Amino acid sequence: MNPRTYEATPAKRVAFLGLGVMGYPMAGHLACAGHQVTVFNRTAAKAVAWCEEYAVATGQKGNLHHAPTPCLATHNADLVFCCVGNDDDLRSVALGGEGAFVGMRPGAVFVDHTTASANVARELYAAARAQGLNFVDAPVSGGQAGAQNGALTVMCGGDRAAFETAQPVAMAFSKAFTYLGDSGAGQLAKMVNQICIAGLVQGLAEAIAFGQKAGLDMNLVLDVIGKGAAQSWQMDNRGKTMVADKFDFGFAVDWMRKDLGLVLDEAKRNGASLPATALIDQFYGDVQRMGGRRWDTSSLIKRLR
């Protein structure tokens, strides 16, 4: 994790469920910001390792704990943060006899950073409200590097009061934590984000492949056009790595296909026409069949070489 400064906020009792490539550093930023953190992970050894690492990093061993179930992790927490894989994973940690909702005190806020469906967000919002709890769907953008640097962009849906409770604490790992509307709005905004990224990456892949076949020095070309209207985050951060045929920079093709599946399912429900997105989803399927399931999303260019 890169060093950063944290805004002074009153220390809270928080839980973090899910210590994957995103959740591990996100929970770490909460610890470094001075909050009392209890973590849960399905592979318990990772939760133990997290506590050991951040006890050293923060000097706050007494404030960091791990628990064997989501229910025990969330007991007496003011805020519960969650970042798991998909809808079913989210239900498994939130619901049931050992789920987070059972352990949470009345009025506590569950903030879900999983990229999931808008439907499951609304489902868990209703379940939380029925139990006197609060639920905010809050998917993130910024990838593994954003999580490590504490610079994620977070898109939130739910009740504004619950959002306002969570925002000061969540700024430990965020550069923007923004309220977008009722339950499900965060997940829908993340879908918009993924549609944009898919189109940008495919356009960049075609441009680089075209330039290389034309015999251009594409590193030089990217330097030039990156100062004009073609500039984008994808060009700045992935253009030259695509030229170099390097694809180990975080967000994997498997994850993008999962996200685009959510997008296309939602489009069927709301009637949106997404011809380019549907085609690019098929292109990512080609990359998977090439053995690129864990390559990052810029690997779309591999199809064109």
CA distance 72 to 82: 14
Strands (E), 26-122: 36-40, 64-66, 79-82, 109-112
Element of type H or E holding 50: helix 44-58
Buried b (16+ CB within 10 A) or exposed e, 42-60: beeebbeebbeebeeebeb
- Any bridge partners for residue 171, and if so which? none
CA atoms of 33 and 55, how far apart (whole Å): 13
For residues 210 and 99, give the distance between their C-alpha atoms in angstroms, rounded to a whole number: 51
191 and 266 in contact (C-beta within 8 Å)? Answer: yes
Contacting residues for 73 by C-beta, under 8 A, at least 6 apart = 15, 16, 17, 38, 39, 40, 66, 67, 80, 100, 103
Question: Among this protein's residues, is 190 annotated catalytic?
Answer: yes
Q: Which among 146, 176, 152, 151 has a CA at the least distance from the CA of 163?
A: 176
- Report how far residue 51's alpha carbon sits from residue 58's, in angstroms, rounded to the nearest whole number: 10
Q: HSE on the CB side for 216, CA within 13 Å?
A: 16
Tokens of 290: 């090439």
Which of 12, 46, 61, 190 is catalytic? The answer is 190
Which amino acid belongs to residue 130?
A
Q: Give which of 79, 75, 83 is closest to 102, Cα–Cα.
A: 75
Q: Report, as residue numbers or ranges, the catalytic residues.
A: 190
